Amino acid sequence: MKPLTILFVIAPAAFATGALAQPAQPALPALPALAPEPSQPAPSPAPAPPVRPVDTPPESVVPADGVDRRDGNWRIEAGYRGSYVRSSGYNPFSNNGYFPEFSLAASRTLFRSGRFSFAPGVAWDVGNTGATARGDVSSLAMQRITVSLEGRLHLGPPGYAYLRAAPGAAVQHAQIDDPSSPGAPLSNRQWVFATDLSAGYAWLVWPRFERSLVQPRLWLQGEGGYGFVAEQRLALAPALPSGSTERASGIDLGSLSMQGGFFRIAAAVSF
């Protein structure tokens, strides 16, 4: 809200400065910026017009050219996340141990001190993968919702580096379609604890040099880290319809832990 407030204040101030060149025009009572110069003599007493009293002076009426507003306060990111999963439980669902995700995040800078700032936010990662497991079609989908706690080190015009910790939870849905299970694929859905620890760098793309200008800015950022996801037992069972009298046994594919190193590339808008 602060940049917008400043914009609204600056605009009437400029307009009022131009009006002073017109002596026939009486001073606008609602322009508090036109305070009398202390060196000029006081005007002769006259009947006091109905002037609205001014309680407090404005914060500023001139843009502070020394303030760097390129980081903004709010930030929205969208990008691509790739994770490398080494868990043997992931083998039925992937040909290469790789898990792709779409990432969406929002954060707000709450605290600044010199070149450092702190910006908490929320993030959502969603992805799925599939393969053939011994001839069966298999798939694994995961959604991860985390609270990101991000510390930034501002390095000037090129951008800033950051460290991010993001605790949260993930829901995983594994499914294998085996023809020996007629009418109901084998599936498992489970919520598990998840946390990301990562470091990255954000590059300011545009506009880069209008440092005091208050407007949305576009960023590109890259990040690498490690994602922890709690281990879950892959006990898959036929998803029989409710009320079914069939007695069917499931299978145990061992343990799956979707943790591993990851990278994320994203585009962000700050304002």
Partner 1 sequence: MISSRLTLLALAGACLTGSCGGQPSYWTKPVNTTNVTYGMAGGVAVVDDVAHRVVFLTATADQELEAQSVPIGHNFASAATSADGKKLFVLSSGDWPIQTSSDQLPQLTVITLDSPNLTTPFQASVSNVYTMSEPVSNLAIDPLGAYAVGYQGSGSSTSPSQNQSFAQNPNEIVIFNLTAGAVPKTPSSPTQPPFAVSRSLRSFGGTPQQLTFSPSLNLPANAATAGVTATKRRLLLIETNIDVSILDLTHAFDPPVGSAKTYGRTEITVQLTSGTGTASVTPTGLVVDPGPDDGRIAFFTTADSNVYTLQLLPAPAGSPNDFNPQINLTDVGGLPSDIQFVHTDLGALRVAALVPTMSSAVLIEPDTSVTTKVALPAAYSNMSLVTGVVGSPASGTNVPDVALLWGSSSANASGVALWTLSTTVGQPYRSIEVLDIAAPIQAVLDVPGPLYDYLKVLATPGGGGDFYILDLSQRTANPIHTTNSPLLTIAPDGLRMWAYDQSTDLARIDFATLTPTPLTTNASISVVYDIERPGTCASAASPPRCRSLVAINAQGTLGATVFDALNPVASARQDVALLLEGP
Based on the shown chain and the rule CB under 8 A, indicate whether residue 231 belongs to the binding site for partner 1. no
Quote the least distance from Cβ 100 to partner 1, whole Å.
8
Nearer to partner 1, 63 or 222 (CB): 222
What is the DSSP code (8-state) at residue 47? P
Please write down the long-range contacts of 247-253, taking CB distance under 8 Å and 24 or more positions apart. 248/181, 248/184, 250/186, 251/186, 253/89, 253/92, 253/174
Which one of 60, 132, 212, 215 is in contact with partner 1 (CB under 8 A)?
132
Of residues 72 through 111, those in contact with partner 1 by CB under 8 A are: 82, 84, 88, 91-92, 94-98
Nearer to partner 1, 118 or 263 (CB): 263
Which one of 136, 161, 211, 239 is in contact with partner 1 (CB under 8 A)?
136
Amino acid present at 201: Y
Which one of 7, 28, 199, 248 is in contact with partner 1 (CB under 8 A)?
248
Which backbone phi and psi does 201 adopt, to 5 degrees? -140, 140
Which one of 140, 142, 176, 214 is in contact with partner 1 (CB under 8 A)?
176
Which backbone phi and psi does 5 adopt, to 5 degrees? -60, -45
Which one of 265, 267, 269, 271 is in contact with partner 1 (CB under 8 A)?
265
Q: How far apart are CA 207 and CA 215, in angstroms?
A: 9
Quote the least distance from Cβ 80 to partner 1, whole Å.
8
Residue closest to 91 by CA, chosen among 128, 126, 134, 143 = 134
Residue 106: how many CB atoms within 10 A of its CB? 16
What is the DSSP code (8-state) at residue 19? H
Which residues here bind partner 1, judged by CB under 8 A? 82, 84, 88, 91-92, 94-98, 131-136, 176, 178-183, 186, 203, 205, 220, 222, 236, 238, 245-254, 263, 265
